[in-house]
Homo-oligomer: A and B are copies of this chain.
Amino acid sequence: MSTVLGIIAGGGDLPRAVAQSAQDGGRAVFVVGLKGSVTEDWLAAFPHAFVFLGEPGKAITALKGAGASDVILCGRVDRPGFSELKLDTKGMMVLPKVVAAARKGDDALLRALVGIFEDDGFRAVSVAVAAPGLVATEGSLGKLSPTDDNRTDIARGFAIVKALGALDVGQAAAVCDGLALAVEAAEGTDAMIARVAGLREALRGTPKARRGVLVKALKPTQDAVTDMPVIGVSTVKGAADAGLAGIAVEAGRSLILDKKAVAAEADRLGLFVIGMTP
């Protein structure tokens, strides 16, 4: 654990949280930001470099130069059109494998990307290893807990997400009184939650009479090294706007960014946030 942690950073809030959590734990980090995916402004706080998705050779050189032997790929990786890719030599060599993987779904693509670094001698580590404080644990995070009706919906939500996840489709679903309100595919969890509020009011809850749950869980096709489901304060706000009663995530296999802030926001808005074993 004493070597430098290499963080290949895509979009969203996760990469920064991992970098901060690892550094707070006393570990040196080096961040490689993926241009076109990463939000660039936070990288200045850490030793870093930028590469395009098609430049794994450049990323490997930067990571080795920084003394990193462990790498973690985290955050959202936007799929470029393959015709728009800026490729280095290594990128050209691995492209056929990556294109083939991309056709099989997001998880296959991520595994292929991680595999490029493993083939070069790096050790792929999970967020659970790099930043264990982010991993969801069993039980409610704030003051509220799910009702029996909520628990029935949560069980159905986990069944839906696991079935979808087995086909590498999505990792989230919203369920209210047994009805699947929304299921996640390429649009992502935030967009999926946002459309719940557009459904007829008879089907769903409201901020004044909360009903239904958001469930997020690891896909069976995911290996927890690359792409654990993530929730944060914005997820709580989105679920609140959608009239949902709460959020259930898979304990030990999903991430909660800033647990204190999530608990406070859930209490403020009147939602539960719970880690469970499906």
Contacts and interface: CB of A to CB of B under 8 A. Distances in A.
Contact of A187 (B84, B184, B199): B199
Nearest to A174: B185
Given A80-B202, A195-B195, A202-B80, A181 B177 contact: no
A102 interface: yes
A198 B169 CA distance: 18
A278 interface: no
Given A79-B202, A81-B202, A84-B202, A187 B180 contact: no
Given A185-B180, A186-B203, A195-B187, A166 B163 contact: yes
B180 A103 contact: no
Interface range for A: 35 or more
Nearest to A168: B180
B198 A180 contact: no
A173 interface: yes
A161 to B, nearest CB: 10
Contacts of A181: 185-186
Residue of A80, A104, A152, A187 ringed by the most chain B CB atoms within 10 A: A187
A184 B81 CA distance: 26
17 contacts: A78-B202, A81-B201, A84-B202, A102-B177, A103-B152, A103-B177, A160-B167, A163-B163, A163-B164, A163-B166, A169-B180, A170-B183, A174-B185, A180-B186, A181-B185, A181-B186, A187-B195
